Structure formats: structure tokens, C-alpha cells
Amino acid sequence: MEIDQFFVAGINYKKTDAAVRGQFAIGPEQYLSILQKARQYGLQEVFVLSTCNRTEIYGIAPSADHLTNLLCSETAGSQATFNSLCYIKEGRNAIHHIFSVAAGLDSQILGDYEIVGQMKLAVRTAKEQDMIGAFTERLFNTVLQASKVIKNETGLSGGTISVAFAAIQFIREKLAGQTGKNILVLGTGKIGRNTCRNLVDYLHTKQITLINRTEEKATELAEELGLQTAPYSQLNDQVQAADIIIVATNASTPVIMCEQLLLSSPKVLVDLSIPNNIDPAAAALPHITLANVDDLSRINDDTLNMRKAEVPKALVVIAAYLGEFLEWHSLRKHAPVLKAVKQKLHDMQSCGLYLSSYQSSNTMDTVDKAAIQKVVNNVALKMRDRNQPGCHYIEAINDFMTIGIN
């Protein structure tokens, strides 16, 4: 395949708010349906990345329309809306984009490293449905290597800034030194777990109750951190009792409604979900303070400024690994020719005419594999550097015969 057949189409926080992104959020069932329908759309390699601040579809396709048509076949939002707000990148630009996303350069909070785990899950799910081929797998593995180097050798992800930590900063600001507040955390997935740990570590509180639809997950985390749990059936009672509520679920509609809060005590609510899992109308209630992921991303501090200074270093790492991937792809394109050249040289050296003409009697029965590989490597380099077709057989035979004579 040609590089220009690789596309990414998506929307993110730069042009859309949380409400619009929620229309295009992809849950597990929708993702499975997309992967199962992909071949009907003429696609062999595809995966979808859906997080709180982006929904993107990556794939090898005849055009980007094939990808957007497939994605929007499973979204609540219309394709017309998606097309009016989305960005489309192809070829090298699409490849550079996936490197940037995995590094945290394109995150709503610069350097947020949680995106790597989300991307791993997206690719693994696609691979289970046989929608990850040699190109995408090699690309993703190279992206992960670059992301790891950036994480370990630059300060791009240094300090404690993430959506989960920004939630803690927001709560700390609203509490202004108040203590003894009851906290409810709804949802104990990755973001919910991280938020709970941050609550314990930075607010130094264990007045936290966990609720999760799968109670075993909440119980496991509660035992680890010394917290309390409640069954999902008691959600409304726990909402009324809490002073602070953090929601990190992946429901398709709100799980806490404005009506539940009309007569409640004053509360601080944080919605870490996309689509919104707390009714946005609750923000209009005078005794309710509500923040979503867009609100949290505006928090700025010295850590974020330090991360911005690390961006040039991250871009240097990306350039190196992107170049490595493009070189692999260039050589892979020539693999059929190189394989044929190698076989022809092997056949030629094995024939009696060549042996009697160019080899001494004590090597009559030996195929010089090292010499063959040397010639094949030279051919590969010439094909890459010249980037043009040619009579590779004749060049290879000439080189090989020269080696045999010398």
C-alpha cells in the first residue's frame, strides 16, 4: 500500500465542546459493531479512539469518506455535523498525528499520558476483530516506542497534571480549606481509580464512598484505599448525602439528573464523562457548582508551563521514530522484488555453469548465503535511495558475479 492511503478523521476539544463530542462518543458495543461492519465499507485495517476529548477513526482506505461513513453509522450525531467539525489528515500528516496524540502533545491537558492506555485498548480490540494488519501494527508499535522515550527522557508528562488531578485542583479551590466533606465517586474505571487515589493523596481524606455498576470493582478499590462502598441501588440516597460528587462513568445518558438536585444541600459536582453523565442543566441551580472536562482543562499552573518548554524535545523524538517507520515502509514495499532477487541469486549459484566458471573446486557445493544477502541489501539501499524502478536482476547479478570473481 501507499502511505497516502492511511487516514485519520476525527473531532476533538479544539473545535467542539463536551456536549458535541458526546454525540460522537463510541462505547464498547458501538465499537464492536464498527469493526464488524468495516469490511463492508472496503476497509482491511481500522481502529477507533474515543476518549473524553476526542473521537478519531484511523485506517487504510480508498478515501477518508469510507472512514467517516463507517464511524457515523454508529454515532448519535449526524454525519453532516461530523463533516462540518472534523479534521482529516492523510499520509505522513496522519502518521505524525498519531505520534503526537500518543505523546500527549494533542491532549486537552498537555502531556496527559492516560491517552496511551486508551489507545492500547482501542488497537487491541481492533486486533481481536482481525482489523489490524502489518502496517498498522508496525506503526502503532513504533508510536508506543516514541511515546515511552518521550515519557522517560523529557519532562512533557512531568508533574501532576491530568484530568483526574485537575478535578482535585478544582475541588480544593472550591473547598477553600474546608474539611470533613462527604465525597461520592461514581465509576471506578481507570479515571475513577486515578481520581480516588488523588483524593486520598492530595486532599488527605477517606470520607469517600464508591459506587460502581459492577460492585466487585468498587469493593476491590475500596479495600485497597480504605474507603467505603454502596450498591448502585442506593445512588439517589448517596447523591443527597454527598457534598462533593465525581462522576467517571461511560453511560450514554446522564446518571444524575437536575431533578435529583433541586432541593438538595449545596454541592460541588465534577463530570469526567463523555457524553455528559451529569445533567448539564444542574449548573443553573444556585446551590450547585458543576464542572466538566472542558472546564477542568482550563486550569493552568507552573507544571503546565514547564511541560510547554519540553515540546521541542518531544518533536525531535517523534521525527526520529517517524523516519524509522517510513524507512521500514519503503523497504517493505520492495519486499517482493528483493525476495525474487534473492531466490534468483540462490538458483544461479547452485547451477553447474556458475560453479564451474566462478568458484573453486573446494566450494563447489556451497551456497554463499552471506554474499547473497550482501547483494540483496545493496539492492534494497539502491531502490530506497533512487526511489525508481530499474532492472534490479541485472544489477544484482553483476554485483554478485563481481563478488564471486574477487
Active-site residue list: 52
- What gap in Å lies between CA 258 and CA 260, rounded to an integer? 5
Helix (H) or strand (E) holding 22: helix 18-23
Distance between CA atoms of residues 111 and 107, nearest Å: 7
**Helix (H, G, I), strand (E, B), or coil: what is residue 373?**
helix
Q: Dihedral angle at the C-alpha atoms of 93, 96, 101, 104, nearest 10 degrees? A: -130
C-alpha cell at 380: 534494497
Q: Cβ distance 231 to 211 under 8 Å?
A: yes
Helix (H) or strand (E) holding 147: helix 134-153
Range 225-232, long-range pairs (CB < 8 A, 24+ positions): 225/196, 225/197, 225/200, 226/200, 227/196, 227/200
Residue 174 parent element (H or E) = helix 163-175
